[in-house]
Chain A
Amino acid sequence: MSQTIATPPTVRLDSDVIGKPINRTDGPAKVSGAAKYAAEFGVTGPLWYGYIVSSPVAKGKITKIHADEVLAIPGVQQVFSHENVSSFAWFDRAYKDDVAPGGSPFRPLHEPEIMFNQQPVALVVAETFELARYAASVLRIEYDVEKHNTDLDSVIGEAFDAPKGKTGFVPPPKPKGDMNKAFAEAPHKVAGEYIHRAQHHNPMEMFATTVDWLGDGKKMKIYDKTQGAPNVQQYIAKIFGLSTDEARVISKFTGGGFGSGLRPQYQVFLAVMAALELEHSVRVVMTRTQMFSFGHRPHTLQKLRIASDDQGHIQALEHKALAETSQFENATETVVNWTGILYNSPNTNFDYQLSKIDVYTPLDMRAPGAATGNFASESAIDEMSYKAGKDPLDFRLLNYTYSDPTENKPFTSKRLDDCYHEGAARFGWDQRNPEPRSMRDEKGMLVGWGVAAGCWDASMQKAAAKAVLSADGHLTVNSATNDQGAGTYVIMTQMAAQTLGLPMQQVTFNLGDTNMPAAPVQGGSWTANSVGAAVKDACQEVGKKLLKLAQKMDDSPLAGVNFEDAQFVDGHIRANEDITRSVAIEDILAASGEDKIEADGKAGPNPINQLKYSMHSHNAVFVEVKVDEDLGTIHVTRVVNAVAAGRIMNPKTARSQVLGGTVWGLSMAMMEETYLNNELGRYMNHNYAEYHIPVNADIHKIDVIFVEEEDDIASPIGVKGVGEIGMLGVAAAIANAVYHATGKRVRELPLTSDKLL
């Protein structure tokens, strides 16, 4: 076996998988039901069920909980409330998770005060779910009700500048020039106010936690619905004073998150608290109604002013936003900055403020902040193009910027211009009649074509991974990251397979377990980039060890070859210079006598590059709408979404991300809105029947174009991420198309039929 024979290169390279449209490795498990979600795991021994009781009032104080009546019901184990839940942590900072905003986090069952409607006020634990639900329904709780205020309009006067303090939040750019003067003097100008109200994430999977009480001290397996097991672990460990060994958090599959699972939700606190107090396995699942009881995309009011000269060059640009936050935390999003990144203007002014109302703290929701700001600014830019007498696409190209005006830095890469050109060609933009109300279809419906651009961060976080190559040649890579449906399982498998030149079937990627190397929460479009780079690093370290072992083999053909000069292809290590100098990995493993070769990998942002460059993904969205003017109905009949987001690791899963983002953008534009009743201080359409999102029949042709960018500065693996970018531009492009069709500018979302009557 020690003799190594040089193998000729094969034609088909099974290991050349990056950039290929490969099916999800977790697909079969998902469609066959084998994939387990948080509320589906079995436990050792019997399981008890906790049912959450929610406050019916928005503000006040609990005066009495008639727990005794409920405890008398056979099978009810305990009623937890502020009356009997011991104070776990002295300081509220123990409740701060990795992505918490500034302020004092909500502490469930900590005190009798009610700070928001549907606040969890008790947990009823019983032997069956049905019994817990019944017992919760008859639990009498008395309140001293106080006057609440959930009306953002009434507290505009109390707005304050959004404070720093949350990961990822960038305060508004500094003003430039003299905005007021430039605006006053410019020949063409627009000013508008834009509104959208609260929107809730509503992933299909309800928030749920199953705590498996292992009967060994305080050891637990905590199966949680989250976008980041490590974030949940540190939250739980800090509050309850547990070790990471005691609080192992597992999240193998996440049935959608969209940001709702970035922060640990209160059901995980309640389930762990109950398990610790009762020393028993417990499961807690929220109801759909309770899915409307925590974070949401904040109700935001925006004002824009833009002015241009006669040639159409922007001379003045102002974007101001005011968003709601809770009484106890300052939820911040980056809302107005994107406008300044996309367009250059000698005179600018940006402003972002918050006002407090009696609701739960808003929470990042897909393309947080950007989706909000983008709708307003791309609507205003569009309006400006008409005022300046320019085609909306030409106007954007005319004001195109090759460096980031807010930070005076070059972009690492920016092919938005190619997105415009390729998208316009695919859409047929040159056939557009610029005149509003000028186009109709064969049935007489008004037709409108609109365009908008989008911009998102290409960011990187610290992440780690571990790779283990076993003697049988199977490679297993682990990282405690998450897959909320994005395709993390498959692209990380691709990354590992490509790096070590192994076929996909020989590689397994595992995630979602705090026993694995740490990874950040899945959000911000940074997973592919950050975890991908860590996986690559771990596999390269294994590769280096393999090369060393190969060189120890008798008469090794790879003698003297540096790692940088070797390639890992099709199960072999070869010398770049002469690929006939090759050794099969299985032979190396056999010769080494090792039962496994393992290595850790890590990745993180490059601070020097971050100082020097601005790193962003971009897109251009083209939309056709047809409008039945008498009835106000709008159909989005065609969308072309052209995306420049660095290297695309898997065009199939990336396209799915952009399709999903496009549908979400349409949903935001046309349907989504949580109805807040200010008298009751309560969201009212808290179910899938009345909180509308699109159905299949609402979605027509969507074309996705990837304009690839070579960018090794934004990321060591050239990846910028596609989780959010696909959503941007869509809502504005739809509103712009509606204007082109009807001549009506709608500045309030969603574009329900009543707004066109």
Chain B
Amino acid sequence: MNSFTLTQATAADEAVRDLTSHDGAAYLGGGTNLVDLMKYNLERPTHLTSLGLLPLTDISSLPDGGLRLGALATNADTAWHPEVEKRYPLLSQTILAGATPQLRNVATNGGNLNQRTRCYYFYDLATPCNKREPGTGCSALTGPNRVCGVLGTSESCIATQPSDMCVALAALEAVVRVQGPDGERTIKFDDYHRLPGDHPEKDNTLKPGELVTAIDLPEEGYADHFTYLKLRDRSSYAFALVSVAVGLKMNGNTIEKARFALGGVAHKPWRDQEAEKMLEGQTASPDLFRQVAAKVFAEAKGYGEGSLHNSFKIELGKRAIVRALKQATEMSQVVNPNVFLNSNP
């Protein structure tokens, strides 16, 4: 770990000024990701602008009927907020499917959006990794890559964005509010994270110095038909192999509006708007769900066979979509299938 200085900012514009006036500075939210990365010597900021005192912890209603989530509200406070639980249960469940209570109590919404990939090689300085050190190569292309993606990958990087929360935010079509040296702007959630292309070192479309101040949720929260299905290697404290967040508006058995996104398969929460359209105006049925699932993975590319390699995610992902859509239409079993609620005492 390298030495660094730290400033406690008390206002957003002050934080932006503080960060931009130091070379090699980084924002510090809850620190659950950044501090780990510093200990691993992967990130070496020389200055930290701590956001802990920023007045951005509120969760408040918006005039258009939506809800604003402060960037410094913790993941736990967001998940358990009465308005979120009532109107956006999908978001609530998705947050609770991630990490552990201890981490969620500290992790912030802004930090969650910007957490880095869990690709093994990214975390290991002894190995080539284009995301960590551009131009060194991608060890995951041929090596064990169970954590890596199968959609929207490039030959430079096949990493995934690991957040659960972001999968729901993509399905909910949230908007990210940012403030930078040139003032404020908003970014549609679909445009917030990016695909690796030739620049896997860039996870998102934030410009230098930009600070996330809030996440705005539109009015529609799909509280009647939603599900978050997270498939993982153990019941908690594991990142998704594949996850699906679904929000539907139903009229009887007809799907009026459909939004869904996948986690664990791509460099960003994966949405397929054409696939969503295939559902709209249609009667819910397993056949339809299978067609939709096939469409989503039509262009998928697996990187090797066996359980250490990720080709299985294509079949698993299709099945997850079918199951998640079924759960959301029927509102039958909105529990994480990995967590088995045992009837035996």
Contact A754–B307 (Cβ < 8 Å): yes
Output the least CB separation between B139 and chain A (Å). 6
Which A residues are CB-close (under 8 A) to B233? 671, 692, 752-753
A677-B143, A753-B233 given; name 5 further pairs at CB < 8 Å: A130-B1, A630-B322, A637-B344, A677-B144, A695-B236
C-alpha gap A648/B238 in the complex (Å): 37
Output the least CB separation between A737 and chain B (Å). 14
B338 at the interface (CB under 8 A from A): yes
Which B residues are CB-close (under 8 A) to A626? 340
Contact B344–A701 (Cβ < 8 Å): yes
A698 at the interface (CB under 8 A from B): yes
Contact A697–B339 (Cβ < 8 Å): yes
A682 at the interface (CB under 8 A from B): yes
C-alpha gap A697/B239 in the complex (Å): 15
A679-700, CB under 8 A of B: which get 1 and which 0? Answer: 1101011110110111101101
Point out which of A56, A698, A755 has the most chain B C-beta atoms below 10 A from its C-beta. Answer: A698
Residues facing B in A614-673 (CB within 8 A) are: 626, 628, 630-633, 635, 637-638, 671, 673
A631-B323, A633-B338, A753-B231 given; A675·B308 CB < 8 A = yes
Residues facing B in A724-755 (CB within 8 A) are: 748, 750, 752-755
C-alpha gap A750/B233 in the complex (Å): 10
C-alpha gap A637/B312 in the complex (Å): 26
B31-53, CB under 8 A of A: which get 1 and which 0? Answer: 00000000001000000000000
Contact A757–B146 (Cβ < 8 Å): no
Which B residues are CB-close (under 8 A) to A754? 307, 312, 316
B123 at the interface (CB under 8 A from A): yes
In the complex formed, the residue of B with least CB distance to A675 is B144
C-alpha gap A56/B139 in the complex (Å): 14
Residues facing A in B231-279 (CB within 8 A) are: 231, 233-239, 241
Contact B241–A753 (Cβ < 8 Å): yes
Contact B142–A695 (Cβ < 8 Å): no
B309-345, CB under 8 A of A: which get 1 and which 0? Answer: 0001001100110110000000001000111101111
Contact A698–B234 (Cβ < 8 Å): yes
Output the least CB separation between A755 and chain B (Å). 6
B127 at the interface (CB under 8 A from A): yes
Contact B237–A695 (Cβ < 8 Å): yes
B124 at the interface (CB under 8 A from A): yes
A133 at the interface (CB under 8 A from B): yes
Contact B337–A700 (Cβ < 8 Å): no
A631-B323, A682-B127 given; A700·B236 CB < 8 A = no
Which B residues are CB-close (under 8 A) to A677? 127, 139, 143-144
B298 at the interface (CB under 8 A from A): no
In the complex formed, the residue of A with least CB distance to B121 is A684
Which A residues are CB-close (under 8 A) to B2? 134, 137
Q: List 30 A-B contacts (CB under 8 A).
A: A54-B126, A56-B127, A57-B126, A134-B1, A134-B2, A137-B41, A628-B337, A630-B323, A631-B319, A631-B323, A638-B344, A675-B120, A675-B144, A677-B143, A678-B143, A680-B126, A680-B127, A680-B139, A684-B124, A685-B144, A690-B118, A694-B234, A697-B236, A697-B340, A698-B234, A700-B342, A752-B233, A753-B231, A753-B233, A754-B307
Contact B144–A684 (Cβ < 8 Å): yes
B147 at the interface (CB under 8 A from A): yes
Which A residues are CB-close (under 8 A) to B337? 628, 631, 633
Contact A56–B342 (Cβ < 8 Å): no
Residues facing A in B138-162 (CB within 8 A) are: 139, 142-144, 146-147
Which B residues are CB-close (under 8 A) to A755? 307
Output the least CB separation between B265 and chain A (Å). 14
Contact A685–B143 (Cβ < 8 Å): no
Number of contacting residues on A, CB 8 A? 50
Number of contacting residues on B, CB 8 A? 45
Contact A685–B120 (Cβ < 8 Å): yes
C-alpha gap A678/B337 in the complex (Å): 34
C-alpha gap A289/B125 in the complex (Å): 11
Residues facing A in B296-313 (CB within 8 A) are: 307-308, 312
Partner of A752, one of B144, B307, B319: B307
Contact A682–B126 (Cβ < 8 Å): yes
Which A residues are CB-close (under 8 A) to B231? 631, 633, 753
C-alpha gap A633/B339 in the complex (Å): 10
B144-186, CB under 8 A of A: which get 1 and which 0? Answer: 1011000000000000000000000000000000000000000
Which A residues are CB-close (under 8 A) to B323? 630-631
Closest 5 CB pairs of A and B: A56-B126, A697-B235, A754-B312, A675-B144, A677-B143
Partner of A675, one of B126, B142, B146, B239: B146
Which B residues are CB-close (under 8 A) to A693? 234
Output the least CB separation between A493 and chain B (Å). 34
In the complex formed, the residue of A with least CB distance to B315 is A757
A680-B139, A682-B126, A692-B233 given; A635·B120 CB < 8 A = no
C-alpha gap A51/B169 in the complex (Å): 42
Partner of B316, one of A117, A130, A757: A757
Residues facing B in A265-289 (CB within 8 A) are: 289
Contact B124–A686 (Cβ < 8 Å): yes
Main secondary structure of the interface of A (DSSP, over half): loop
Which B residues are CB-close (under 8 A) to A700? 340, 342, 344
Contact A679–B142 (Cβ < 8 Å): yes
C-alpha gap A694/B338 in the complex (Å): 12
Output the least CB separation between A528 and chain B (Å). 32
Contact B340–A635 (Cβ < 8 Å): yes
A431-462, CB under 8 A of B: which get 1 and which 0? Answer: 00000000000110000000000000000000
Residues facing B in A288-342 (CB within 8 A) are: 289
Output the least CB separation between A757 and chain B (Å). 5
Output the least CB separation between A358 and chain B (Å). 15
Contact A680–B344 (Cβ < 8 Å): no
Contact B234–A695 (Cβ < 8 Å): yes
Which B residues are CB-close (under 8 A) to A630? 319, 322-323
In the complex formed, the residue of B with least CB distance to A118 is B126
C-alpha gap A54/B41 in the complex (Å): 14
Which A residues are CB-close (under 8 A) to B338? 633, 697
C-alpha gap A525/B102 in the complex (Å): 36
Which A residues are CB-close (under 8 A) to B312? 754, 757
Output the least CB separation between A204 and chain B (Å). 15
Partner of B118, one of A637, A671, A689, A757: A689
Point out which of A690, A695, A750 has the most chain B C-beta atoms below 10 A from its C-beta. Answer: A690
Residues facing A in B185-243 (CB within 8 A) are: 231, 233-239, 241
C-alpha gap A247/B234 in the complex (Å): 44
In the complex formed, the residue of B with least CB distance to A289 is B124
Point out which of B315, B338, B340 has the most chain A C-beta atoms below 10 A from its C-beta. Answer: B340
Which A residues are CB-close (under 8 A) to B307? 673, 748, 750, 752, 754-755
Output the least CB separation between B116 and chain A (Å). 13
C-alpha gap A694/B121 in the complex (Å): 24
C-alpha gap A695/B231 in the complex (Å): 15
Which A residues are CB-close (under 8 A) to B1? 130, 133-134, 137
Which A residues are CB-close (under 8 A) to B316? 631-632, 753-754, 757
In the complex formed, the residue of B with least CB distance to A55 is B126
Contact A637–B340 (Cβ < 8 Å): yes
Output the least CB separation between B98 and chain A (Å). 12
In the complex formed, the residue of A with least CB distance to B241 is A753
Point out which of B231, B234, B316 has the most chain A C-beta atoms below 10 A from its C-beta. Answer: B234
C-alpha gap A442/B308 in the complex (Å): 34
Contact A679–B139 (Cβ < 8 Å): yes
Which A residues are CB-close (under 8 A) to B144? 675-677, 684-685
Which B residues are CB-close (under 8 A) to A692? 233-234, 238
Contact A631–B320 (Cβ < 8 Å): yes
A229-258, CB under 8 A of B: which get 1 and which 0? Answer: 000000000000000000000000000000
Which B residues are CB-close (under 8 A) to A689? 118, 237-239
C-alpha gap A289/B143 in the complex (Å): 18
Which B residues are CB-close (under 8 A) to A137? 1-2, 41
Which B residues are CB-close (under 8 A) to A695? 234-237
C-alpha gap A687/B120 in the complex (Å): 10
